[in-house]
Structure 1
């Protein structure tokens, strides 16, 4: 009888180093040994010599159910597996069902059990009319965090939480040591600039960025972090497109306030000058895509350790919701689960950022942010054997090529990615093999946080 279930050979990206020609041994869903030299005995040997073996990605921000009858967990987690993402954290703003009470949360867990191909943790939120009264029951049900917004996209599906109520929520959430993630756009400021753009009758690709200038973000961030500081809550900004925001977060952290910040992959990849005129509605995202200078500023913050996590803010809108000639009428958001990990690794290579930093912002830090670190986040003995293997092999990204995406479009289409996923393992089981998804619906598990 062999000692281990399987062994993966390659360049192992641990927290502290890259073990050239190393190996990971797996037993009963977990990592049992990491080393170098002669391979131990195992039922299966995966020789990925020369490839980089990284922790399976954890995408901190996914909207699987934003368009009813469209994507769902069966497709979002298929895209995730094909991109080396082995856990997603799904948002609570589902079309027709705001996840704001125990009943809806439990129904969503059941959806995970039936349809997910990779593991799933879940955000919860509140109904503004109910205030904080459901937070305790949602914590008990297994919420990995709570999501709010300082801007009201929709009064029922995506409501604004006013400052006084946000403060009450933060104080309640602080009792449970969970994270409070907030969409960071100041409602009054956005409405003011949006009215200005509408009065000018500007409708082309430039209209969206003008309707949400940088100050609309930083005003909201100041509110979020100050409320978190006063409430003693873990305050998290779920996306930031401007360098100034990362400076703000670092400033609060330097004063022992538990603040964190998220850089979506589009803010590291797309810029207003080159991509917005071509992609138009396909790159309409809130907050907007910013100029090149902001993109480079965020990369510098990533290198300096001021970016907590990198996510997709994935949503697979149907193309008709992204192709209106009036830029302001298009839905906001874009798909990215299949592309995020190779996009980030490619960007790290071009910006001379060590792969250990990529592993931290894609796996270790998200695991800690959502209290999943007892199982997830690093290549370490005792952790779930969630592993993604990337070969340095340039290719042009085509979202239709793999067959693993419900969306026929992507803002990243045609980009050259330097790293290609060859294999992804979830709890030691091969779930993607060179683009072929082996994980069936129901393979994924709901992951409940454990407060540290």
Structure 2
């Protein structure tokens, strides 16, 4: 037997549990998991003794900023961070210029990924043009994305063409998306309540990071909870599979738990800032650089519980870079600041560190970043797993490699991370995308344009339908 690559001597995280095995790769696929004594002639053998071999992260919530906002980031720089962070597939978001909401803009974005992405990719267009939903689905997208929000005091990061908070229009979107079999990603937000709440803060002159943080978490997160309740009920009414972004309140997590028990096809995610950032101390110390949002302790505790028991299906980065200039204004005019934080480079290592600290099992961490996102978004058996026949998207991690996150190591065009100075205990050493090494020995070695469109094949679609019919949440 002659193969392209053999990873030798590692502990492999498989669907059946951790096993000591060599991973055999040929023609971009995993072709064997064998005992180290089994002979196989390989063009290249990499000794990973003492290391973990993990499936690459499938990050379904990534802001590449291209086209339109390349001064913040672009597809190539995003994919470089992905390679370093063990992310082998990225799904981009539609809040671009022009927004991705029709066949023409989606074609343009796919062309850009194809030319410059180092890792595999897909894109979540906005379903705001109803007649474009089916044609975009036929182009191979795995999901659609909407924002239930209109920005106050700024036009970004939620530009026109990507938002919809009218309930009737949301239901129509769900009816149309349900016919495609794709999942509908929703940024939940009760706009009417937020208009009232933030108006009170602004009237008092509390246009500060603390005021902004408090407004979005006001009344135990009422703007999130009411929006998510609406989304769950509309999903039930339409039969549309939905995915809720930005889980952060106790009540919302409990609502999703009940919805799953009732058979509603809902998945949800927590972003890097939920478990690892956005404490009140972070808000005080980092101000606009910590926001996204403030997560009070009750919400953070519920997040960890949901990550542990499977209510929260997915960890996706919500990688959202902005320049220092766009952040600095937030110290005195937070409602004019571009909110969001970069995160794709460090989320997987932070989760592995959490495993070392006893916050999560390795099995749950792998499910959150790889297995479950692949299942939920139509890539089951293709991405997110180490098994024969799957793409050879592999990460080699050292679970006993302390290091310190630093702005000096940031590959984002924005040049900063809210985790500067944080010490963690696990490191990613190598990343392979379809058997090709894209990160090794501290350097990105993959070529722009290596990435390919990650989309569901017929067999994956069949297995996804079977899993959804049986309520396959794990």
TM range (shorter): over 0.9
Residue deviations 1:89-136, cap 9 Å, x none?
Answer: 111111x21111111111111101111010001111133xx4x21111
Q: Which residue of 2 aligns with 1:12?
A: 12
Q: Which residue of 2 aligns with 1:294?
A: 299
Q: Which residue of 2 aligns with 1:200?
A: 204
Once the 2 structures are TM-superposed, how far is the Cα of residue 159 of structure 1 from its aligned partner?
2.3
| In structure 2, distance between residues paired with 1:115 and 1:105 | 16
Q: CA contact under 8 A between 2:278 and 2:290: conserved in structure 1?
A: no
Matched, 1:92 2:85: no
Matched, 1:308 2:290: no
| In structure 2, distance between residues paired with 1:313 and 1:40 | 43
| In structure 1, distance between residues paired with 2:314 and 2:39 | 34
Matched, 1:262 2:269: yes
Once the 2 structures are TM-superposed, how far is the Cα of residue 217 of structure 1 from its aligned partner?
0.3
1:277 to 279, 284, 303: 284
Indicate how the Cα distance of structure 1 residues 210 and 442 shifts in structure 2: closer, same or farther if over 3 A, else same. same
Given the two structures, how large is their TM-score scaled by the length of structure 2? 0.90
Q: Which residue of 2 aligns with 1:122?
A: 123
| In structure 2, distance between residues paired with 1:437 and 1:157 | 35
Matches within 5 A, 1:141-180: 141-153=139-151, 154=158, 156-180=160-184
Q: CA contact under 8 A between 1:422 and 1:434: conserved in structure 2?
A: yes
Indicate how the Cα distance of structure 1 residues 274 and 382 shifts in structure 2: closer, same or farther if over 3 A, else same. same
SS at match of 1:363: helix
1:135 to 129, 133, 138: 133
Indicate how the Cα distance of structure 1 residues 146 and 348 shifts in structure 2: closer, same or farther if over 3 A, else same. same
Question: Going by fraction, where is helix more abundant, 1 or 2?
Answer: 2
Q: Which residue of 2 aligns with 1:72?
A: 74
Matches within 5 A, 1:327-366: 327-366=334-373
Q: CA contact under 8 A between 1:62 and 1:89: conserved in structure 2?
A: yes
2:447 to 440, 443, 452: 440
| In structure 1, distance between residues paired with 2:369 and 2:191 | 30
Q: Which residue of 2 aligns with 1:424?
A: 431
Matched, 1:387 2:391: no
Q: CA contact under 8 A between 1:118 and 1:426: conserved in structure 2?
A: yes
Q: CA contact under 8 A between 1:15 and 1:360: conserved in structure 2?
A: no
Structure 2 portions without partners, runs of 5+:
152-157, 463-474
Indicate how the Cα distance of structure 1 residues 413 and 350 shifts in structure 2: closer, same or farther if over 3 A, else same. same
Once the 2 structures are TM-superposed, how far is the Cα of residue 5 of structure 1 from its aligned partner?
1.2
SS at match of 1:281: helix
Q: Which residue of 1 aligns with 2:62?
A: 62
Q: CA contact under 8 A between 2:260 and 2:266: conserved in structure 1?
A: yes
Residue deviations 1:354-410, cap 9 Å, x none?
Answer: 111111110111111211224111001000000011102011101422x63322111
Matched, 1:223 2:230: yes
Given the two structures, how large is their TM-score scaled by the length of structure 1? 0.95
Residue deviations 1:142-190, cap 9 Å, x none?
Answer: 2211111221234525423411011011011111211011001110111
SS at match of 2:301: helix
| In structure 1, distance between residues paired with 2:179 and 2:116 | 33
SS at match of 2:4: strand
Q: Which residue of 2 aligns with 1:110?
A: 111
Indicate how the Cα distance of structure 1 residues 271 and 100 shifts in structure 2: closer, same or farther if over 3 A, else same. closer
| In structure 1, distance between residues paired with 2:407 and 2:137 | 37
SS at match of 1:298: helix
Indicate how the Cα distance of structure 1 residues 309 and 68 shifts in structure 2: closer, same or farther if over 3 A, else same. same
Q: Please identify, of 221-230 and 207-216, the stretch whose mean Cα deviation from structure 2 is larger.
A: 207-216
Q: CA contact under 8 A between 1:265 and 1:310: conserved in structure 2?
A: yes
Once the 2 structures are TM-superposed, how far is the Cα of residue 242 of structure 1 from its aligned partner?
1.4
Indicate how the Cα distance of structure 1 residues 39 and 321 shifts in structure 2: closer, same or farther if over 3 A, else same. farther
Q: CA contact under 8 A between 1:421 and 1:435: conserved in structure 2?
A: no
Matched, 1:397 2:399: no
Q: CA contact under 8 A between 2:314 and 2:373: conserved in structure 1?
A: yes
